[in-house]
Amino acid sequence: MSQLGRLTRISTTILRYRLDEMIDSIHENHHIPGLLGFCLRYSPTRLLPKPKEPLARRLRLTMEALGPVFIKFGQILSTRRDLLPDDYADELALLQDKVPPFPSDQAIQLIESSLGQTLDAVFAQFTDKALASASVAQVYSAQLKDGTDVVIKVIRPGIEKVIQQDLKLMLFLARLAEKYSVDARRLQLVQVIIDYEFTIMNELNLKLEGTNTTRLRRNFADSDTLYVPRVYWEYTRTQVLVLERVYGTPVREVNVLKSHGTNMKLLAERGVETFFIQVFEDNFFHADMHPGNIFIDITNPEDPTYIAIDCAIMGSLTEDDQRYLAQNLLAFFNRDYTEVVRLHIESGWVPQDTDPSEFEAVIRNVCEPIFEKPLSEISFGYFLLTLFQTAREFNMEVQPQLVLLQKTLLNIEGVGRELYPELNLWDTAKPFIERWIRKRSNPLDTIQALIKRAPELLQVLPRLPDLLINADRELQQVHSALNKCNTALIEVNKKLDKKTTRARWLVISGVLFLAFGCAYMLFNADQQALLSGTTIGMLAALAGLLLIIR
Tell me the catalytic residues.
288
Indicate the residue type of 446: T
**What is the DSSP secondary structure assignment for residue 462, as one 8-state letter?**
G
Give the 3-state secondary structure of residue 550.
coil
Q: Residue 71 pairs with which residues in a beta bridge?
A: none
Contact 212, 186 (CB under 8 A): no
Q: Which of 99, 56, 68 is nearest to 167 (CA)?
A: 68
Give the 3-state secondary structure of residue 351.
coil
d(CA 315, CA 399): 12
Q: Which of 298, 297, 292, 293 is nearest to 308 (CA)?
A: 293
- 68: which residues sit within 8 A by CB, 6+ positions away? 97, 99, 134, 135, 136, 156, 159, 162
Any long-range contacts for 464-469 (C-beta under 8 Å, 24+ apart)?
A: none
152 burial (CB, 10 Å; 0-12 / 13-18 / 19+) is buried
CA dihedral over 199, 203, 207, 209, signed as positive or negative? positive
- 220: which residues sit within 8 A by CB, 6+ positions away? 226, 227, 228, 274
d(CA 363, CA 344): 11
Q: Where are the alpha helices (DSSP H) in 116-233?
A: 119-122, 159-180, 182-187, 189-203, 206-219
Q: Which of 95, 102, 99, 101 is nearest to 73 (CA)?
A: 95
